[in-house]
Amino acid sequence: MHDMLPTVSILISGLFQRARPLIRLGVFASGALLILMVALAFTRLPFDAHRWLGMAGEECLAPARAIVVLGGSGMSSGPELLRLHRAAQLASDWPHAEVLIVHPGDSAVLLTMCDELKVRGVDSARVGRINAGENTREQALLVADRLKEGNGRIAIVTAPENMRRTVRAFRNAGVQEACPAPAWDHAMFHGFEYDHARIGGKAWAPDMAQHTALRYTFWNYLKLEVTCIREWIAMAYYRLNGWI
């Protein structure tokens, strides 16, 4: 027992010495990535990348025979309400289109989503439900089986960052006429400048009253970068599996 502890200590020390170059490389790469992301957040590239993910070909403009709303967030949450708001708009524009909500998990959430569409003027008789689909691939297969009879465009409503992968996954699953109807959020066109001294800002604190880009845009773009990186990794995984 007394000999074992020094032996384990020697082994751990040896492993650490061998792993030190990799640890150093990992720290350096992480720091470089952080610096790059901060620099890019001062440009419009994150906005353009997010926009590119949201446009998977020509957006659904002509009437579709079905409007498919993909869930995944809770109710009521911002992303889910945005999707339902977009679906209700399309349902109003295309009164003959079926509306199909796909959401896994708690069926009560699915019913709440249906209620939200009803509040927004969508007749409950038009709304179908699929209470399954743990990822986009499985949801695409379920919808393909549900809508296999009939011809016409299928409008897919989901978050913009998921749209490119989603439309490709649906087409791969057999829904060849899937077209994007992304649920964009809309920026508030307001200056947000204020008078630092008038509202009690401290003299020793930086006056950020006129720097709205730094107060809001920079942080929003930084979050978009994380969102886009996550989606690109998901796209790579789907491509690896042959799902897109």
Average of per-residue pLDDT across 20-39: 86
- Count of residues for the chain? 244
Residue 115: phi and psi, rounded to 5, are -65, -40
Angle between helical axes of 160-172 and 218-240 (0-180°, round to 10): 10
**In Å, what is the CA distance from 226 to each residue of 136, 220, 221, 237?**
20, 10, 9, 17
Q: How confident is the model over 1-15, as a mean pLDDT?
A: 65
Query: pTM for the complete prediction?
Result: 0.84
Asked if pLDDT for residue 71 goes beyond 60, the answer is yes
Query: What's the average model confidence in pLDDT over 212-235?
Result: 91
Over range 29-38, report the average pLDDT.
89
Per residue in 88-118, pLDDT (tens digit) is 999 999 999 999 999 998 889 899 999 999 9
CA 157, 159, 164: angle at the middle one, nearest 5? Answer: 80
Please tell me the predicted confidence (pLDDT) of residue 4.
Answer: 63
* All domains of the chain in start order, with CATH: 53-180 (3.40.50.620)
pLDDT category of residue 170 using cuts at 50, 70 and 90? very high
Out of 7-21, 50-64, 92-106, 119-133, least confident range: 7-21
Judge if the upstream peptide bond of residue 76 is cis by omega within 30 degrees of 0: yes
